[in-house]
Amino acid sequence: MKNKTDTPLTEDFDTQTLQINVGPQHPATHGVFRMDLTLDGETVVRLKPVMGYLHRNHEQIAENMTYAASMPYTDRLDYFNSMSNNFGYALAVEKLAGIEVPERADYIRVILAELTRIVNHISVIGFLLNDLGAFFTPLTYAFREREKILDLFEEIAGSRMMCNYFRFGGVKRDLPPGLLERIRTMMDVFPRFLDEFEALLTDNDILCLRCQNVGVLGRELALNAGLSGPMLRASGLGYDIRKVDRYSIYGRFDFKVPVGSKGDVYDRYYVRVLEMRESLKILDQALRQIPSSGDIISRKAAPFLKAPRNFKPPVGEAYGRVESPKGELGFYVVSDGSPQPWRYHVRAPSLINLTVLEDLCIGHKLADAMVILGSIDIVLGEVDH
């Protein structure tokens, strides 16, 4: 009879893969999103993203209402960044209708877009650290700074998150008295917070071990998948629509486009840190250059604010895009000459960036998959538009 100790310890055992669901109600999925995972032990061998739980028929709704009535609906796409959503939609319709934007309104738009970028990136980093198991301390610090900017948004637009502030040809109203000074005060102290945040995180041994060489996104895959934003730039491709298109007045500002080298989770974290510093540079220049007075909406577009059904762009099509905090956010509108768009389509960066999730996760552990998803930075309102 063979003794148990005679069995070699190196003998290969047949194992079965395990299929599990993470979500749709799970804190790490950042909303109602499900990952259908196949695991070999704790190693991911297959991952199928399952979305659609938050679908609201955004595009079909927009095709059955006036152009202006769709503006507050864009707030609900990326509900962290409503100002950027408004910006992209306004550019598309302005291109379609041939509307020029007054200079002061252009500066206000850029200032709010860059404040929005800071809001997004600081929140994403806080959530990423939460996914890493750092509990709520970094997230609390991040949200403390985020709230300061949301207070400014509330003063400007009357709402902290669903701002509905942009209008075709400009913005809804001028800035409240003294608000530019309060933005400047916030900017003067924010670099100190970034320095402290980096001292806590950037060279942290745990963060480096969990994020470096994890979820590597190669340049070729990033290009072939149509990725954009920090996801693309972290892979070493310095593509930024603010530089490429120079839309609005971005051509007047001096700023750099940070890029990574490996395209891993760590690079995606650090590129966002650097982008916040560049946003501060843009804000500094914009606050110094903004005209002290002037129109805040085009005279051509002003009459349509009170009578939106009279706004009928000429027959044609237009595509307007912005460098939103998550990547290229584009709006494609087709006019048949009526008060409603004949076709309305959104190019949502969260949805497109999510398509490489399986490629990034295969071969990593289940715990790493949560971190990789967090580094992509999705919002389900945009994924399920």
Chain centroid to CA 145: how far?
18
Determine the pLDDT at residue 15. Answer: 66
Q: What is the pLDDT of residue 307?
A: 76
Q: Which of 120, 112, 68, 105 is nearest to 89 (CA)?
A: 68
Residues in the chain: 385
The pLDDT of residue 1: 44
**Cis peptide bond upstream of 314, omega within 30:** no
Provide the pLDDT for residue 246: 94
Could you tell me how many helices (H) and strands (E) the chain has, helices first?
Answer: 15, 8
Helices 179-201 and 265-289: crossing angle in degrees, nearest 10, is: 160
Per-residue pLDDT of the chain (385 residues; tens, 9 = 90+): 444 445 454 455 556 888 888 878 766 667 788 889 889 888 999 999 998 888 888 999 999 999 999 999 999 998 889 999 999 999 999 999 999 999 999 999 999 999 999 999 999 998 888 888 876 788 888 889 999 999 999 999 988 889 999 999 999 999 999 999 999 998 999 999 999 988 988 888 888 999 999 999 999 999 999 999 999 999 999 999 999 999 999 999 999 999 999 999 999 999 999 999 999 999 999 999 999 888 888 888 878 777 778 889 999 999 999 999 999 999 999 999 999 999 999 999 999 999 999 999 999 999 899 899 989 989 888 888 7
Cβ proximity of 379 and 350 under 8 Å: yes
Angle at 19 between CA 14 and CA 23, to 5 degrees: 155
Largest CA distance in the chain: 97
